[in-house]
Structure 1
């Protein structure tokens, strides 16, 4: 999730070494945290570095020191907590980030007074920060539909992140910006496609927690849109495996309530959910064992959604093993 402008960070905030501003120091500390592995024995993600970053973040939050760097540091903390299963801290951190963004005037009503944004790069960075919070806010709730989200549902006219390659160079072309209303294409940036998937995940969570959860029409429409997104994510020169895993996680979340439903009324729905999962397993087998997409990849480098997707598939496989209904393909994928 590229939500920190490297060029702007180096040009504006790291002009003097060592940096003296507390928010710059905090962001550097959280960057160190997110790129560090916890000790193997004992495997505890609550390291001294984590506590130092957490306490420093809370100290600055309690002072009259608002800045987007503090918010970016909070997002990194939330991402670290999600990735290492530090709950309920992750849930609370992401919620606090949403409030912090509102306090900074990010993605709020035009009637709310906020600091004037001077450059296109700064506006793009604020947009990417908001989308990063939207993504994590939905993902942190993926296993518990029904909990209220901390961020509002994105609107169809909301702008998606700009081209990632140009963004790395500090370039933003307003003529090339797309909205959620635009069609899904393989020409979209990876981050923009991930934002689209997060919006769909929010709709899935809302659907599963509503009175219309049994509505096949809504489920079918969501499934079709996710399938289109998979096609757009795969038909690029270098597919992003973690981004694809996020879309698959959405598909699994959509089907999960019916994978072990004891309700006789939903037998047909349960059968269709089983078929969807089997199709996913067949695709994963093709990519992993035949095309060797994940062979040799370090699990420590996987995204939280990649790990979640792997966990759900393995859990499904274990349940089927206990019932003696697993297929050779799904058994091979789990191994």
Structure 2
């Protein structure tokens, strides 16, 4: 922990001071919270005012939407940023020459299979397998696109040949620019608030990281990303802050707007790094978890395209074979035990025990298969019927295996398997939903009836689907009641450790109960629907997606359906 604190402090000082031994003289736009509360005179210095520093109090500044700087403040900040850029330009990371090809990468899976965040390690892995352009030039002209940053004197030269002619890009040994650029004032203000970065880091790894281990805690503790501090690392910390902020603490969109603006600045500066991709994924996770659409849809697509630039996308030319590999064991990766880091094939039997993150990946792949079947509008032949039921049987067996694994874990550790348990059941709803209706439903959204009659296979599929969907909804109700009981005893701490990926299945189960209530009037379904409605309401204090699903359920409510039919 002491090492992590030193690393974080080093990063903050690098961003906010011109001398690691001196405090910055740049002043915040308002007094710190402690001075304001005690009505003391505050010199507004960053990262902490003189009074708080002298009394060893925690010094925090609030960031308001009216964050403005005077002309002298801007001049001082620009001078400090220029010095920071010069130091970054002369750092070992900047002086080394790197080559990155989207179709080439390390022969070992250690970088990507373990999901490391360290930009240093990422670039080092490229060095190992790159071509020395200084000694092996083949005389091709390097094609770069030049971007002048409007608020900076820096010029970004990005190799446009990567997109226009990939062969030319590889043969000419073109290089991606080192991440540089101006860090916006609101971001600097946040990063320099007392122990803000350290607190965010600790909170992130204690909550989000437990069910979505995308960032290497081990390398962060070792300080590898901090040693190569740049704007992409600042963006990553901002993304960690964004995704760890509960919905009840989000009073406005200032933090989110700042993060989106910073990402746009990095894009315009041609910043390409693994750190920025991880920051983008965290922003996408925030947008999904709080139902910010269409932004979530667009950001997720941008992340997928960004992996092409980094050469991470699985494909025929990927020597890492990521298309057929699962992540290594979560605990082994967190401890950095390379000798025990074994990556299993995605084709491995689901009955072989895996770590929670691998289970999440397996559940996601099952969901992808279910979506493909749901979009298939071909005739219901005997072979297609057998394929669908085979997938459904595999999904049910997978869910049972993960349920049993959860039973062997402590309640706290078992939370890490909540997402794969629920996603596998979401896949069942996706695959079977339109087959549960008495009418023949087309593949188009909106439950559009087909004029054709159902075949024998389709009628059998309807009976099977109805049984499975009702059974799955009951399983989700049992799970939901366990969560509600746990929330009553340790609400705040528990809520932060639960993935928003569970909410889709809870919504689908509640919608099913509302539908069954409207069809048969069984009060058991009314109670079950109300319980899952309450779970969504409770979860909405952490993830606003819960309240969005709750609002959507009003359309499924039997009273609303009756009213809609009579108007």
How far does residue 252 in structure 1 lie from its aligned partner after superposition? 1.4
Q: In structure 2, what is the equivalent of residue 282 of structure 1? A: 474
Aligned partners of 2:435, 2:512: CA distance in 1, in Å? Answer: 12
Say which of 194, 219, 240 aligns to 1:8: 219
How far does residue 259 in structure 1 lie from its aligned partner after superposition? 3.2
TM-score of the two chains, using structure 2 as the length reference: 0.47
Aligned partners of 1:333, 1:189: CA distance in 2, in Å? Answer: 32
Q: In structure 2, what is the equivalent of residue 37 of structure 1? A: 246
Q: In structure 2, what is the equivalent of residue 24 of structure 1? A: 233
- The answer as to whether partners of 1:281 and 1:329 remain within 8 angstroms in 2 is no
Tell me, what secondary structure is at the counterpart of 1:198?
helix
User: Against the structure 1 CA distance between its residues 242 and 175, is the aligned structure 2 distance closer, same or farther, given a 3 Å change threshold?
Assistant: closer
Aligned partners of 1:175, 1:54: CA distance in 2, in Å? Answer: 35
How far does residue 83 in structure 1 lie from its aligned partner after superposition? 1.0
Tell me, what secondary structure is at the counterpart of 2:247?
coil
Say which of 483, 503, 508 aligns to 1:312: 508
How far does residue 49 in structure 1 lie from its aligned partner after superposition? 0.5
Q: Deviations over 1:73-121 (max 9, x none)?
A: 1111111111111111111111110111111011345758x9xxxxxxx
- The answer as to whether partners of 2:514 and 2:526 remain within 8 angstroms in 1 is no
Return the index of the structure with the highest Cα Rg: 2
Say which of 223, 247, 254 aligns to 2:392: 223
Aligned partners of 1:261, 1:69: CA distance in 2, in Å? Answer: 50
RMSD across aligned positions (CA): 2.8
User: Against the structure 1 CA distance between its residues 213 and 30, is the aligned structure 2 distance closer, same or farther, given a 3 Å change threshold?
Assistant: farther
User: Against the structure 1 CA distance between its residues 104 and 309, is the aligned structure 2 distance closer, same or farther, given a 3 Å change threshold?
Assistant: same
| 2:313 aligned with 1:107 | yes
Flag structure 1 segments of 5+ consecutive residues without an equivalent: 115-122, 128-153
- The answer as to whether partners of 1:285 and 1:329 remain within 8 angstroms in 2 is no
Aligned partners of 1:222, 1:108: CA distance in 2, in Å? Answer: 24
- The answer as to whether partners of 1:29 and 1:53 remain within 8 angstroms in 2 is yes
Aligned partners of 1:327, 1:170: CA distance in 2, in Å? Answer: 53
Aligned partners of 2:262, 2:471: CA distance in 1, in Å? Answer: 47
Aligned partners of 1:12, 1:213: CA distance in 2, in Å? Answer: 56
How far does residue 325 in structure 1 lie from its aligned partner after superposition? 4.4
- The answer as to whether partners of 2:350 and 2:398 remain within 8 angstroms in 1 is yes
Q: In structure 2, what is the equivalent of residue 71 of structure 1? A: 277
How far does residue 70 in structure 1 lie from its aligned partner after superposition? 0.4
How far does residue 38 in structure 1 lie from its aligned partner after superposition? 3.1
- The answer as to whether partners of 2:216 and 2:334 remain within 8 angstroms in 1 is yes
Q: Deviations over 1:13-58 (max 9, x none)?
A: 124xxx8510110000000000002347xx87x6111111111112
Aligned partners of 1:201, 1:111: CA distance in 2, in Å? Answer: 25
| 2:363 aligned with 1:194 | no
5 Å-filtered alignment, 1:89-238, equals 89-109=295-315, 111=317, 154=323, 158-173=324-339, 176-185=342-351, 187-212=353-378, 214=380, 215-236=384-405, 237-238=408-409
User: Against the structure 1 CA distance between its residues 213 and 97, is the aligned structure 2 distance closer, same or farther, given a 3 Å change threshold?
Assistant: farther
Aligned partners of 2:485, 2:379: CA distance in 1, in Å? Answer: 38
Aligned partners of 2:292, 2:468: CA distance in 1, in Å? Answer: 31
Say which of 232, 257, 275 aligns to 2:434: 257
Tell me, what secondary structure is at the counterpart of 1:14?
helix
Aligned partners of 2:479, 2:510: CA distance in 1, in Å? Answer: 16
Aligned partners of 1:313, 1:285: CA distance in 2, in Å? Answer: 7
Aligned partners of 1:51, 1:175: CA distance in 2, in Å? Answer: 38
User: Against the structure 1 CA distance between its residues 67 and 309, is the aligned structure 2 distance closer, same or farther, given a 3 Å change threshold?
Assistant: same
Q: In structure 1, what is the equivalent of residue 462 of structure 2? A: 270
How far does residue 287 in structure 1 lie from its aligned partner after superposition? 4.3
How far does residue 170 in structure 1 lie from its aligned partner after superposition? 1.8
How far does residue 285 in structure 1 lie from its aligned partner after superposition? 4.2
**Count of residues paired in the alignment:** 287
Tell me, what secondary structure is at the counterpart of 1:107?
coil
User: Against the structure 1 CA distance between its residues 185 and 272, is the aligned structure 2 distance closer, same or farther, given a 3 Å change threshold?
Assistant: closer
How far does residue 66 in structure 1 lie from its aligned partner after superposition? 0.6
Aligned partners of 1:111, 1:216: CA distance in 2, in Å? Answer: 35
How far does residue 197 in structure 1 lie from its aligned partner after superposition? 1.3
